[in-house]
Amino acid sequence: MNPDDALMPRLPIGDWIDAGIDWLKDNVSWLFDLFTTVMNFLVGNLTDLLLLAPALVMVVVFAAIALLVRSWKLSLATLIGFAIVLSMEQWETMMQTMALVLVATVFAVVIAVPLGILAAVSSTVSAIVKPVMDFMQTMPAFVYLIPAVTFFSIGVVPGIFSTIIFALPPGVRMTELGIRQVDGETVEAGEAFGATRGQILRGIQLPLAIPTIMAGVNQVIMLSLSMAVVAGMVGADGLGKEVVQAISTQNLPLGVEAGLGVVVLAVYLDRLTAALGSPGEYRGSLIALAQRTIAQRATTTI
């Protein structure tokens, strides 16, 4: 017998978790079926929408979005990068990955932002949420695939489930941080004018916290993209599946091409969300140009 066994009895934590998962499968299987139906519908239809128009048309559309939101430089880089992906015949897989990332990001943000707001306004909620977020961030990404496959078998749904869980923490943390960093004197000024707590939150704290919250959304997207690649191991279609296939067959060209597709998509989404968080910093965008034109006309009129 191992001498350490006498000092510390073994805790069957893994067995307890396994029993809990079995209980969930037996008692709330309807919830997993509903999640499966919704995710298959959303991802499938979004993928079809992204692939509906010819690829060259969509490249121009994505470049136009970059020009509208950020700058002509990002627009040009988008044209070049997406054209390279198209020439590598990875366009369809990149759109599948984009659909997965966008759906997972929306669900993660819908959960993360309200939870972050609650944590910011309540010290009790914050004390509960912080260790949970620490646990979720430090847990290896591959571990999330195990319960996901147990609940949903293989395919895109376990990929989305694990991606949402993995990408959630930074959204919660950055939302709480952004609201807590709002200047106390500004909040006191709102209170002095008789604003309620809800009015201060909606009219002062949330608007001032938008850049920080958007930085959290940016991190959610980046983590979603990294996890979407890992989700290829459980059969989720997209660039991740191509990477897994390249590893299993030792196909270096396929791996490099799929990896480049991930890089192009990651840079595009990263730059867009950064610009959405601080639109005033990007004077080359069409939005900033329109704002300056309106301001100049208003000044001239006055």
pLDDT at 292: 55
Identify residue 124 by its one-letter amino acid code: T
pLDDT recorded at residue 60: 93
Per-residue pLDDT tens over the stretch 220-268 = 988 888 887 788 888 888 888 888 888 888 888 888 998 899 999 999 9
pLDDT the model gives residue 86: 92
pLDDT of 302 over the 60 cut: no
Q: What was the pLDDT predicted at 182? A: 82
Output the pLDDT for position 284: 56
Mean pLDDT of the chain: 83
Per-residue pLDDT band for 286 (boundaries 50, 70, 90) equals: low
Domain limits of the chain? Answer: 28-301
Each residue of 68-116: pLDDT tens digit? Answer: 888 888 899 999 999 999 999 899 999 999 999 999 999 999 999 999 9
pTM: predicted TM-score of the whole model, two decimal places: 0.84
- Per-residue confidence (pLDDT) for residue 154, from 0 to 100: 82
pLDDT tens for 112-159 read: 999 999 998 888 888 998 888 888 888 887 788 888 888 888 888 888
Tell me how crowded residue 41 is: count the other CB atoms within 10 A of its CB.
11
- CATH superfamily ID and name for 28-301: MetI-like (1.10.3720.10)
